[in-house]
């Protein structure tokens, strides 16, 4: 007897598991760069993080009688959490973050597809506010290991300096004033292209920061891979980065006393985990709007709040908080912003009496 | 560079699998040992059986009379004897009355005399099309005489649908290659009825050789005023709404018909049937069916009488493999899966497919939004499906459920492989019940 089912009778082979696998593949170059830059300790953090996310998912599955570890979503969550940890973080922190993500943020709301906040981001923010000092202790990357200063992230260093009254300087000015060093490669490339060597280092990943957020280059490559394989579309990353870049250019110089249209663009884009956020966090399927128009509104919101928090907030968590804020607004966006229906004609208004 | 147009919103790109059968010329099926001719092979009221058990019938003799305006005549596909009148289950799951006809040993060809249609009036051409029981052969089987009766509305464009966007199907492709001259004359007949300002043939990019062949025949026959519009491959371009968007750049308003934007869409297979009906007074009693799929031994394009049991058709193509998982009438995107090989070929059967099992698992909705991005109608399948799942049919209707034409783009692309179309079919039924 043949099977009878409703149409369609053919389906794409791109299922959830395969998509998650592609996300993992896209994240790996940046994660491996983190391991190279910060040493085996970083690898241990990544492994602990993935393992605890998986274990948590598995144990909760026992309660439900479901086996959901196979869909690889817990691996993605764990990997993202690991990549969002400082290299020298004590191991219990990624464990707590992963358990918070999987248990509180995902499982209690009904598991995959039901959470209203990106689990990895929520996990990161939770441990950031719980263990602020451990989460803010960074180590210098391999290329700048000799430089003691390089163990602070340049972004927070600049913010502190400007807050402390160092005015009328761009990033390069502030950083060189502070005595930040650059790699020889960045000096060569920077002078050839007439851009700041600090920007080149940030692009390549020779800066202090979380394990997986430092190399803008490899994160962009991973993002392009995801777009090419149609796991995500270009809309959210491009609109997010674009709106943030425009706002930075217009208003970014205000705090340093330079007035409008004096802000820098490239350096802010390559730092602060923005690439990781734009390509891998703000594109999370579950917690972003489902319509194209909704996605664009979402991405504009992310760009705006990232700018606002980074330049005028007192916390260094701009990207995470902006995306979480927009996650919260997602159901509302989805309710009011819908695609235009094919053949939709505006109903003729009845003449009022 | 050739300019290819297409519709803008949504759509998917399933693997077209046409290579399985595109190079097999149309073959004539030897007359089967018996035929099951259903009275309902069209949209609208079933035909009224006008013959009884034991009657002898000629090939092309009327056996089912159209019972209302939106209905179609049914004729005997063979010379033979009605051995039984029974109820048959069609491939789409519906049941209807059917005449079981045993063909005679010797079959003649009755339709050899050419009629000069140039002198006939549009009304008389339309009457012939009605009498010959012509229906849309793309799958929807809407009676052609109803579609072509435009009641004085002006027809700006006659769009010939040669898109054949469903994977596997190649019957229209073969027709274009093998029946080009007849098709061109058929288009001229329809043009005489409608007097459109322009005529466009829409062909997808995987059939450009057939389009070139038509172009060449048009030039040889010195027929002007027929434009061939090559289209980018994208499913569901063969749907008339998407086809009109692609060829004319216009949208049929929700709940309206193509004629409301001055267009009539006609399937290219139907054009050939119209040609046979008008030139030879031959009723619609046979059609080309693509028999294909990974589980068919030798995929072919077969000219077979209406009423041929699908089992006979499959046997002619070497039978279906042991590991055949599903039999499908039509294309894999919108066709019907059926279990009984006794189900007959009808006027609308464009293909019979035997497919192997797909290795897919149903998951949970992860709100990826792919269904929304790929819906050609601009709907939100995810939200409609959720509402239907929880019995909120009115909410689903408010979201535009009735604009859904079950093309299957959403369910094709869904990474969780949710049975979205099944949900919408259910939702429409339940929504109507209220």
Return all residues near B92 (Cβ < 8 A) that are at least 6 apart: B329, B336, B338
Chain B residues closer than 8 Å to A290 by CB: 367-369, 371-372, 380, 382-383
User: Coil, helix or strand for B349?
Assistant: coil
Closest Cβ opposite residue B14 in set A10, A289, A339: A10
Look at chain B and report how many structural domains it folds into. 2
**CATH number of the domain within which B194 lies:** 3.40.50.11540
Q: Are strands B263-267 and B157-162 parallel, antiparallel or unpaired?
A: parallel
Collect all residues of chain B within an 8 Å Cβ-Cβ radius of residue A6: 337, 419, 421-422, 425
Among B230, B247, B280, identify where a domain stops: B280
Q: Which member of B326, B380, B412 has the closest CB to residue A291?
A: B380
Q: Are residues B392 and B275 in the same domain?
A: no
**What residues of A are in contact with residue B167 (Cβ under 8 Å)?**
10
Do B326 and A15 count as a contact with CB atoms less than 8 A apart? no
The reply to whether B267 falls in a domain is yes
A contacts of B389 (beta carbons < 8 Å): none
In a domain, B347, yes or no: no
Which helix (H) or strand (E) is B289 found in, with range? strand B286-292
Each residue's pLDDT, cut to its tens digit, for chain B (434 residues) gives 467 899 989 999 999 999 999 999 999 999 999 999 999 999 999 999 999 999 999 999 999 999 999 999 999 999 999 999 999 999 999 999 999 999 999 898 889 999 999 999 999 999 999 999 999 998 889 999 999 998 888 999 999 999 999 999 999 999 999 999 999 999 999 999 999 999 999 999 999 999 999 999 999 999 999 999 999 999 999 999 999 999 999 999 999 999 999 999 999 999 999 999 999 999 999 999 999 999 999 999 999 999 999 999 999 999 888 888 999 999 999 999 999 999 999 999 999 999 999 888 899 999 999 999 999 999 999 999 999 999 999 999 999 999 999 999 999 999 999 999 999 999 999 988 86
pLDDT number for residue B393: 96
**Does position A65 have pLDDT exceeding 80, yes or no?**
yes
Interface probe, candidates A1, A3, A4, A7, chain B, greatest B C-beta count within 10 A: A7
Regarding whether B272 and B136 lie in a shared domain, the answer is yes
Q: Residue B378 domain-assigned?
A: yes
CB under 8 Å, gap of 24 or more: what pairs does A312-315 form?
A312/A255
Say how far apart CA B109 and CA B125 lie, in whole Å: 23
Structure tokens belonging to residue A200: 């080149």
Predicted pLDDT at B139: 81
Chain B contact probe: residue of A1, A8, A14 with most B CBs at under 10 A: A8
Is the residue at B173 inside a domain?
yes
Together in a domain, B121 and B222:
yes
Cβ neighbours, 10 Å, residue A165: 7
Instruction: Using CB atoms, pick whichever of A233, A338, A343 lies closest to residue B241.
Output: A343
Angle at A262 between CA A260 and CA A268, to 5 degrees: 115
Minimum-distance CB partner of A11 among B324, B371, B417? B417
- Collapsed DSSP state (helix, strand, coil) of residue B299: coil
Interatomic CA distance for residues B235 and B205, integer angstroms:
12
Q: What are φ and ψ of residue B126, in 5° steps?
A: -65, -40
Reported pTM: 0.93
Whether B239 and B380 share a structural domain: no
Determine the Cα–Cα distance for residues B301 and B351; give it in Å rounded to an integer: 9
- What is the complex's ipTM, to 2 decimals? 0.92
For residues B271 and B400, membership in a common domain is answered with no
How far apart are the C-alpha atoms of B328 and A52, rounded to whole Å? 47
Residues B269, B176: Cα–Cα separation, whole Å: 9
Same domain assignment for residues B131 and B265 = yes
Distance CA A309, CA A305 (A): 6
What is the side-by-side order of every strand in the sheet holding B157-162? B226-231, B198-204, B157-162, B263-267
B13 within some domain: no
The range of the structural domain enclosing residue B164 comes to 116-280
Looking at CA atoms only, how far is residue A291 from chain B in angstroms?
A: 6
**Residues B396, B262 share a domain:** no
Q: How many inter-chain contacts (A to B, CB under 8 Å) are there?
A: 162
SS3 category, A295: helix
**Listed residues B280, B300, B331: the one ending a domain:** B280
Whether residue B342 lies inside any domain: the answer is: no
User: What is the pLDDT, as a whole number, of residue A319?
Assistant: 96
Check whether residue B131 and residue B274 sit in a common domain.
yes
Separation of alpha carbons A89 and A77, rounded Å: 18
Helices first, then strands: H and E counts in chain A = 16, 0
The answer to whether residue B233 is domain-embedded is: yes
Question: B355 to chain A nearest CA, in Å?
Answer: 9
Residue B263, domain member (yes or no): yes
| Domain end (from B215, B246, B280) | B280
From the list A2, A19, A345, the residue facing B325 with the nearest CB is A2
A341/B403 touch (CB, cutoff 8 Å), yes or no: yes
Alpha helices (H) along chain A: 16-38, 40-64, 73-83, 92-99, 119-130, 132-135, 154-163, 171-178, 184-193, 197-204, 216-228, 235-251, 266-270, 274-276, 292-312, 318-336
> Are residues B243 and B386 located together in one domain of the fold?
no
Chain A residue numbers touching B256 (CB-CB < 8 A)? 343
């Amino acid at each position: 007897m043949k099977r009878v089912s409703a149409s369609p009778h053919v389906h794409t082979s791109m299922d959830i598991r395969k998509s998650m696998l592609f996300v993992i593949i896209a994240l790996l170059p940046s994660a491996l760069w983190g391991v190279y830059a910060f040493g085996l300790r970083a690898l241990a953090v990544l492994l602990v993080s993935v393992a605890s996310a998986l274990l948590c998912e598995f144990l909760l599955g026992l309660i439900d009688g479901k086996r959901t570890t196979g869909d690889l979503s817990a691996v993605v969550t764990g990997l993202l959490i690991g990549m969002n940890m400082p290299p020298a973080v004590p191991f219990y922190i990624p464990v707590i973050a992963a358990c918070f993500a999987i248990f509180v943020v995902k499982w209690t709301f009904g598991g995959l597809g039901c959470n209203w906040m990106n689990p990895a981001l929520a996990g990161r923010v939770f441990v950031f506010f719980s263990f602020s000092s451990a989460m803010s202790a960074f180590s210098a990357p391999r290329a700048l290991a000799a430089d003691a200063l390089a163990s602070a992230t340049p972004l927070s260093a600049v913010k502190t300096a400007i807050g402390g009254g160092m005015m009328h300087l761009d990033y390069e000015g502030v950083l060189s004033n502070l005595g930040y060093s650059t790699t020889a490669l960045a000096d060569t490339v920077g002078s050839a292209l007439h851009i700041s060597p600090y920007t080149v280092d940030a692009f390549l990943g020779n800066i202090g920061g979380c394990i997986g957020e430092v190399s803008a280059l490899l994160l962009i490559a991973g993002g392009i891979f995801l777009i090419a394989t149609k796991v995500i579309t270009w809309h959210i990353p491009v609109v997010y980065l674009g709106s943030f870049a425009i706002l930075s250019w217009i208003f970014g110089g205000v705090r340093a006393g330079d007035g409008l249209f004096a802000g820098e663009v490239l350096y802010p884009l390559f730092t602060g985990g923005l690439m990781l956020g734009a390509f891998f966090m703000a594109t999370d399927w579950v917690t972003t709007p489902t319509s194209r128009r909704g996605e664009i509104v979402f991405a504009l919101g992310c760009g705006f709040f990232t700018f606002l928090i980074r330049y005028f907030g007192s916390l260094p968590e701009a990207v995470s908080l902006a995306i979480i804020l927009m996650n919260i607004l997602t159901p509302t966006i989805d309710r009011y912003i819908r695609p235009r229906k094919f053949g939709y004609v505006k109903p003729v208004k009845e003449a009022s009496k | 560079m050739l300019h290819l147009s297409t519709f803008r919103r949504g759509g998917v790109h399933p693997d077209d699998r046409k290579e399985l059968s595109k190079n097999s010329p149309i073959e004539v099926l030897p007359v089967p040992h018996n035929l099951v001719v259903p009275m309902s092979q069209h949209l609208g009221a079933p035909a009224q059986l006008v013959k009884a058990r034991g009657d002898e019938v000629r090939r092309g003799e009327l056996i089912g009379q159209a019972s209302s305006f939106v209905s179609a005549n049914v004729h005997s596909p063979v010379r033979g004897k009605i051995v039984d009148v029974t109820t048959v289950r069609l491939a789409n799951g519906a049941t209807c009355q059917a005449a079981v006809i045993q063909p005679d040993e010797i079959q003649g060809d009755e339709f050899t005399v050419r009629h000069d249609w140039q002198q006939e009036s549009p009304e008389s051409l339309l009457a012939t099309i009605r009498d010959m029981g012509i229906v849309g052969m793309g799958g929807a089987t809407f009676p052609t005489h109803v579609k072509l009766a435009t009641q004085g509305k002006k027809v700006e464009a006659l769009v010939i649908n040669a898109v054949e966007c469903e994977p596997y199907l190649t019957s229209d492709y073969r027709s274009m290659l093998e029946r080009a001259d007849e098709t061109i004359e058929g288009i001229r007949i329809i043009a005489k009825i409608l007097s459109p300002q322009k005529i466009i043939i829409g062909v997808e990019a995987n059939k450009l050789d057939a389009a070139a062949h038509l172009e060449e025949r048009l030039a040889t026959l010195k027929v002007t005023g027929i434009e061939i519009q090559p289209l980018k491959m994208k499913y569901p371009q063969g749907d008339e709404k998407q086809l009109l968007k692609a060829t004319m750049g216009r949208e049929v308003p929700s709940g309206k018909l193509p004629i409301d934007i001055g267009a009539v869409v006609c399937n290219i297979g139907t054009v050939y049937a119209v040609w046979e009906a008008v030139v030879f007074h031959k009723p619609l009693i046979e059609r080309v069916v693509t028999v294909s799929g990974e589980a068919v031994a030798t995929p072919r394009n077969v000219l077979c009488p209406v009423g041929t049991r699908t089992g006979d058709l499959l046997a002619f193509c070497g039978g279906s493999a042991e590991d055949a998982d599903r039999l499908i009438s039509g294309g894999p995107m919108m066709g019907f899966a059926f279990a009984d090989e006794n189900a007959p070929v009808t006027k609308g059967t464009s293909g019979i497919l035997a497919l192997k099992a797909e290795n897919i698992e149903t998951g949970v909705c992860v709100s990826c939004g792919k269904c929304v991005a790929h819906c050609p109608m601009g709907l939100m399948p995810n939200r409609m499906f959720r509402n239907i799942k929880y019995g909120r049919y009115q909410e689903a209707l408010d979201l535009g459920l009735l604009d859904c034409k079950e093309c299957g783009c959403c369910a094709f692309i869904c990474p969780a492989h949710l049975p979205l179309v099944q949900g919408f079919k259910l939702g429409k039924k339940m929504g109507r019940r209220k």
